[in-house]
Amino acid sequence: MYDNRFLLLMTRKLSGEGTPEELEELNGLLSAHPSLQEEADLYTRYWEQQQEPYADTEPALQKVLRQIDSDAVPGAVSPVGIVTRMPLWKKISRVAAILVVAAGVGAGAYQLVARQYEDPTSLVQKQNSKGVKSTIVLSDGSKVWLNADSKVQYPALFTGNSREIYLNGEAFFDIVRNPAKPFIIHLSNGTVRVLGTSFNIKAYDNQPVVETSVATGKVAFIPRLKNNRPGDTVFVVPNNKVVYRLNLEEVTTAATVSADDKAWTEGKLIFRSQSFEEIAIELERNFGKRIVFDNDTVKQYRLTGSFQNNTLVEILEYLSITKTFSYSVSDEAIVISR
C-alpha cells in the first residue's frame, strides 16, 4: 500500500534519517502520485513551523488536528465544491506521522503507530542480510529477536482465533500469553505452537536440521514429513530442545542450556564441539564474510569457544590455537587451509 509507505518515507525525510535510497523512493512516489505532493508540502510546512518541542502529546495532537482542518485534506475539492472527507484511520495515521517526527522519536516508532492502520490481512516482511540482527515488536506485544540471514513474515494485526507468523532462519521469541489465541510459527519443515513462552528456533531453509529450544514455558513442535503430512507432536520444556534431522526424518529431544541457545541475541557466539564447517556457516552469517575451505579434513575439526564482541579475525586466531590451521584474508573471502 503506497499510502502508508509514503507516510513512513515522509517521516524519515523530516526526521533527517532518510537514506538516499529512501529519498529517491519518496520522489518516485510523488512523481507517480501527484496528489501526494500537496500533502508532502503540508507536512514540510508544519515541520518547519515547529518552534517548541512537543512534550505533551495531547496538546500537540489537537494543534495538528486544527492545522489539518480536522476533516479534510486542504485543497481536495470535488467539482461541485464539496470538501472531500478523509477517512478517520487515514487522518489519524497522518497526525501520528507528524507528531512522531515533531517529538523526535523517529521512523521506528512511526512504524508501530502506522501498523495499526494497515490492512490486517496483509503480511509485513522483515528480512535481515548477513551481519545484521534486529528486534521486532508484534501487535500483541510479543517480541522477536531476528538473527542474521533470516526472514519473518507476520500480519500487521492479529485477527481471528490464532496468531500466525512465518519464519525462515533463526529467531528468539518472547510471546505474550493468550490462551484464547495460540501463537503459531510456520516453518518450511514444521510448525511450532505455543500459548505464551520464550524459546529459540533455528530453521534455515538451506540447512538439514531444525532446532527448537525452550527458555520458559512449553512448546509443541510438529515436524513436516517428506510427503507433506505432519509428524507426531513433540512437547519441549525449559532447558530442553527438539532436533529434527530432515534427511532421516528423525526427531529427537535433548537437554540444553537455553542461555547458550539465545546467546546470539546478546552478541555472543558459543561453539561447543562443533565441526569447523558448522562454525564457518555461523561466522558467515554473523559477519557477512564468505569463508571457504581448501581442505576437507579441516572442515571436520571439532572446535569449542565462546566469544563476545570479537572480530572475525580475532575468533579465527583463537580457534587456530586450539586446533592448528591457517587462514588468509582477502576482500572476497577468507580461505581456511590445513
C-alpha cell at 323: 586446533
Q: Which residues are 127's β-sheet partners?
A: 151
Residues 322, 316: Cα–Cα separation, whole Å: 10
- Helices (H), ranges, 150-304: 258-261, 276-287, 296-299
pLDDT by residue, tens only, the chain of 338 residues: 455 667 777 777 776 767 887 788 888 888 877 777 877 877 776 666 553 444 444 454 445 445 544 434 444 443 333 334 444 445 445 544 444 444 454 444 445 444 444 455 578 889 999 989 999 999 889 999 999 999 999 988 888 889 999 999 999 999 999 988 999 999 999 999 998 899 999 999 888 999 999 999 999 999 998 887 888 999 999 999 999 999 899 999 999 998 999 999 998 999 888 899 999 999 999 898 899 998 888 888 898 889 988 899 999 998 888 888 888 888 888 998 88
C-alpha cell at 80: 461541485
Q: Topology of 130-260 in CATH? A: Jelly Rolls (2.60.120)
Taking the model in full, what pTM does it have? 0.64
Exposed / middle / buried, residue 331 (Cβ in 10 Å: 0-12, 13-18, 19+): exposed
Where exactly are the structural domains of the chain? 2-117, 130-260, 267-337
C-alpha cell at 199: 524459546
The CATH class of 267-337 is alpha beta
- Give the CA count within 13 Å in the CB-facing half-sphere of 150: 24
